Copies of this chain bind each other. A is one copy, B any other.
């Protein structure tokens, strides 16, 4: 089953069959008229999988949704608001989260306990529940599956993102057309900045909940969990994946060729979305892919790749167009991975800059040229094994400092 069998399509979070969505402006974002409350709805029960922030300080909607999925395998939809994160809001926040789910369920006529919820925005302020209530009713009233509906929802979940983000693919399983689509919001952060990452994925594939969860876990580790803008992890980070079976394929339940195809398709969508988050990092002017190969373990490769991608010195160097091999080698050195300088080979956009423990002699013109593209591939070969890991990030600009220093609580 080759990856070429996976074709990109339009439609985002409602590209798959059996989903509708709607968004309205409920006055929660400060900008007048901005879309901020949305509903994603499946016309039949959908198997649900989710991954949440590992931050010990979790927002109420994270606690609510995580708890719901301990009891239920299927849901009917997702209710989302932007503008208020419902985080650090105490017991009132938990009440508001439960109420938000209930309001969404009643608004669309779905049974109790059938909605996941997510929030993003300012933290430490009570949820404006009157606005949430009116917003959810209005969003339910405008549900649809047109391109305009998809567009409004991907915009409604944005905070300081500068571009809306969606992706979708199509492939065939046993003669049936199957689609996976999704939207996300990312590293454009909101006051007080939290870098909240939300991603909502939907598919019409018929797939067993256990396999769905496993596929999501594997894919997220190499996509959303491989994006880093400033190393901070938010209180609200959430990925939901719904699978409603509307494609009417023979249900996937066991590992194998078809399950691999599903996972590859899911990876394609998630990687598109995750890279879009890195490209839209606050103040970003360049996209950086850090690829560490030749590690003894994936954990070592991950440590080295994350240390490089999180180093402010490396990110500043890329911003300035400087092929600063020293900062990259140094970051690998302190990453905790047992690197051996003499075995490392470092390439930036294909140009070998470091080998045998020393810098190579690269003509200045070639040095400069390797940093001129907007996309920078930093490839560090450790020469110790065969494990590898890729991490996506962006450069560090004065604009990042401006955005994050000039906001006031």
Contacts and interface: CB of A to CB of B under 8 A. Distances in A.
A218 to B, nearest CB: 22
A204 to B, nearest CB: 35
19 contacts: A55-B330, A124-B359, A192-B322, A192-B325, A192-B327, A193-B324, A195-B313, A230-B312, A230-B313, A232-B327, A232-B330, A233-B330, A312-B396, A312-B404, A317-B409, A319-B405, A320-B408, A323-B409, A400-B401
A33 interface: no
Contact of A320 (B358, B367, B407): B407
Interface string A173-208: 000000000000000010011110000000000000
A210 B258 CA distance: 64
A235 B330 contact: yes
A57 interface: yes
Interface of A: 53-58, 87-90, 123-124, 189, 192-195, 230-235, 310-313, 316-317, 319-327, 329-334, 337-342, 354, 356-359, 367, 396-398, 400-402, 404-409
A366 to B, nearest CB: 13
List the number of copies, as a whole number.
2
A313 B282 CA distance: 11
Nearest to A89: B358
Contacts of A88: 326, 329, 341, 354, 357-359
Given A313-B193, A401-B397, A404-B313, A333 B89 contact: no
A401 B316 contact: yes
B316 A405 contact: yes
B320 A124 contact: no
Contacts of A321: 408
Contacts of A404: 312-313, 316-317, 320
B409 A324 contact: yes
Given A88-B358, A359-B124, A233 B334 contact: yes
A232 B312 contact: yes
A7 B374 CA distance: 56
Among A310, A337, A340, A342, max chain B CB count under 10 A is at: A310
Given A56-B333, A56-B339, A89-B358, A409 B231 contact: no
Contacts of A324: 192-193, 407, 409
A341 B57 contact: yes
B56 A341 contact: yes
Nearest to A358: B90
Nearest to A235: B330
A177 to B, nearest CB: 40
Contacts of A327: 192-194, 232
Contact of A326 (B58, B123, B367): B123
Contacts of A232: 311-313, 327, 330-331, 334
A316 B89 CA distance: 24
A187 to B, nearest CB: 11
A326 B84 CA distance: 13
B397 A56 contact: no
Identify the 10 closest CB pairs spanning chains A and B, nearest first: A320-B405, A57-B333, A316-B404, A192-B326, A233-B334, A55-B333, A124-B359, A398-B398, A56-B333, A319-B405
Contact of A334 (B56, B123, B359): B56
A403 to B, nearest CB: 8
B322 A407 contact: yes
